[in-house]
Chains A and B, each alone.
Chain A
Amino acid sequence: MSRLQVVSGKGGTGKTTVAAALALALATEGKRTLLVEVEGRQGIAQLFETEALPYEERKIAVASGGGEVFALAIDAERALLDYLQMFYKLGSAGRALKKIGAIDFATTIAPGVRDVLLTGKACEAVRRRDRQGRYVYDYVVMDAPPTGRITRFLNVNDEVAGLARIGPIHNQAQAVMRVLKSPETAVHLVTLLEEMPVQETADGVAELRAADLPVGNAIVNMVRPHLLDEDAVHDAANGRRAAVTDALKAAGVTGAAGLVTPLLEQAAEHAERVELEREQRKALNALELGAYELPMLSEGVDLAGLYQLAKELRKQGAGS
């Protein structure tokens, strides 16, 4: 399994949730994962119900089985200051640059520069080793920008090439690209079984492939159970109304006669949804990706729910 796991997807499909669950899932016994956030939203902190994450790796959870999850909210400005410090020993000049807005300027107007700083930090964590030469993190999981921006975000080399043709940023971009285009990386796309997210997934996969970036799995999130299929509903509506009414009565439901019609209507809607989902599955299948499926948690995602999703991912092969 690739050591850098990038999680993208249409906004609102559950990127942050899935990235966190994946970080937990990969932290099997004795392993350590790093969950990184790059969009300054503090989504991870909210999810783990802790205070805002500083620009510093800290342990936020122990996975079932004893592995550890660390988290880091990468901040482009801080990363740029770190670089300036590393290469030029700037000291207080760095702060002055920040004060006049130069850092803000450099990290906002040139999205390529910003991105190379963010991905650079993640790649550094992937390659980092301890004194014994072992990897510090077994896996790094990134809660990445949405599908519409992911290829540009990861394809820093092209982005930066037009801007910084020489210098440390340029070199950094080269180094980052080596990791991102290698089998060390897998870019997963979270989707729902709905038209728009599936369409975005298809577009995203095409873009990633065209840029030679390694596409990982489709992660189908918020999957609801199928309780009845279309044939059954059809049958019930046509031939078996009376029998269904009798069955309801016998099961102890009062006012059964008045309930049959609305119950069958609900079933018809359900069947319609199942049918639409079937189409979306077909569209996803055509992309020939691997897949994970995560159930819709009816009470929303709290910490317990997160562990439940992690367990589900392990069951489906994540981390093994």
Chain B
Amino acid sequence: MTLDSSARLEVDPLIDDPATRIIVCCGAGGVGKTTTAAALGVRAAERGRKVVVLTIDPARRLAQSMGIDSLDNTPRRVEGIEGGGELHAMMLDMKRTFDEIVEAHADAERARAILENPFYQSLSAGFAGTQEYMAMEKLGQLRAREEWDLIIVDTPPSRSALDFLDAPKRLGSFLDGKFIKLLMAPAKMGGRAGMKFLNVGMSMMTGTLGKLLGGQLLRDVQTFVAAMDTMFGGFRTRADATYRLLQAPGTAFMVVAAPERDALREAAYFVERLAEEDMPLAGLVLNRVHVSGAARLSAERALAAAENLDEGGIVDQGHGKTGVRDAAAVSPESPSAGHSPEAHPQVAEEPSESKNSRTQTTQEMTAGLLRLHAERMQVLAREQRTRDRFTALHPEVPVAEVPALPGDVHDLVGLRAIGDRLATGGRAPAGAA
């Protein structure tokens, strides 16, 4: 099962290369960005590098097992890493990062005024894009510390992967907006006296907004804007610097996608956008791909065989080598496995298809195995089609496939397993085709 037309993404050479300083894992929501970032971190550290992983929204159990669930907004060393390297990890606290910027760029009194302002509070907690902006900011800070030779960044759970690139600019242009400038003008000229310089139209408008929103609100805005004024320049300069960092040669983007239509469409947009922005793409990680060790048995043939078994009597009970235990196991008990009635309004404990194995004959069980296989093969075929569509569009993009694990990934063992699969591109030795 290989991708005929696209190259393989070679992960180990990339993470081993001392020239690689930043890896950004991006993609649509829920595809496995955080998992991939953490798995790359573990692997790179165990191969000898000094790594820091900036995660945004790790699953709770994963954060706990890495010891980064405390949210103190600074990297912690992860225990249990084998080999010569080090792994440090942290979880981004967006509000705290914003507060720290304010504290670093304003004197104590002014900083307090900003932090207490209701507008600052909604901006720092809720502005669409604040999280993306703060992730970039944190990346810049980590890079400036020169303590790690590899920084791996996870990206926020936005619906669109492009948000990560667009959001900081959006915040920047918002802070640069005409209206803010207008509001700031009088403040710059010195509080109330400056108000006189507002033209009539303008004061009518602010008056209207004031009536609509309440006068207090507009005064809060003005205080906020005045207090932030000195910081705006700094904001923009740093956002621009971080953006340039993303274009630097030591940076590599990994676009993560699930083999589903929407996620791959998103990945394609992102690949195109990176090219436009001159940002270096390492490749596509196709995560949670299904594989089968029995791929030579097609779905159709598996289903046909299952039907043969359903029709029964082809193999009868005593036939062949069913052992004593088996004979007991298939003793004809009542097959009705307490089919529960319509189970609303509660979540049904269990869909009713599965029967108690004690009452399942070898035929029934084998038919079950075949149906399961047919379902798996249908999934494989669908994933192959969506993947082919992507490769047809972007044959130049190297791809690494990571098979879906049956459970979720919540500890170092799981992360290592993902790392192995990343590095072997999914062509695991264990008989997987």
Contact = CB atoms under 8 A, between A and B. Distances in A.
B373 to A, nearest CB: 6
Interface residues of B, number: 97
A231 interface: yes
B348 A293 contact: yes
A217 interface: yes
Interface string A146-167: 0001001000000100111111
Candidate in A194, A217, A227, A239 with the most chain B CB atoms within 10 angstroms: A227
Interface stretch (B85-93, B101-109, B142-150, B356-364): B356-364
B276 interface: no
A90 to B, nearest CB: 7
A20 to B, nearest CB: 15
A165 B353 contact: no
Contact of B179 (A102, A225, A239): A102
Contacts of B362: 240, 243-244, 246-247
Contacts of A242: 320-322
Contact of A267 (B128, B205, B314, B372): B372
A20 B75 CA distance: 43
B372 A227 contact: yes
A157 to B, nearest CB: 14
Interface in B378-393: 378-379, 382
Candidate in B28, B118, B351 with the most chain A CB atoms within 10 angstroms: B351
Contacts of B368: 227-228, 232, 267
Contacts of A217: 345
Given A11-B159, A162-B118, A234-B357, A105 B179 contact: yes
A273 B346 contact: no
Interface string A232-271: 1011100110111011101111010001011111110110
A170 interface: yes
Nearest to B322: A243
B326 interface: yes
Given A270-B372, A291-B347, 15 more contacts: A96-B201, A109-B119, A164-B217, A196-B59, A229-B354, A232-B360, A244-B365, A244-B369, A246-B315, A264-B369, A265-B293, A281-B347, A281-B349, A281-B350, A291-B344
Nearest 4 A-B pairs (CB), nearest first?
A262-B293, A290-B345, A231-B357, A232-B357
16 contacts: A100-B178, A105-B180, A169-B212, A169-B213, A199-B60, A232-B354, A240-B362, A244-B366, A246-B315, A250-B308, A251-B306, A251-B308, A251-B315, A253-B297, A266-B376, A270-B406
Interface of A: 10-13, 41, 83-84, 87-88, 90, 93, 96-97, 100-102, 104-106, 108-113, 149, 152, 159, 162-170, 194-196, 199, 217-218, 220, 223, 225-229, 231-232, 234-236, 239-240, 242-244, 246-248, 250-253, 255, 259, 261-267, 269-270, 272-274, 276, 278, 281-282, 284-285, 289-293, 298-300, 316-317
Interface of B: 28-30, 59-61, 118-119, 122-123, 126-128, 157, 159, 174, 177-180, 182, 201, 204-206, 208-209, 211-217, 220-221, 260-261, 292-294, 296-297, 301-302, 304-306, 308-309, 314-315, 319-323, 325-326, 329, 342, 344-351, 353-358, 360, 362-363, 365-373, 375-376, 378-379, 382, 406-408, 410, 431
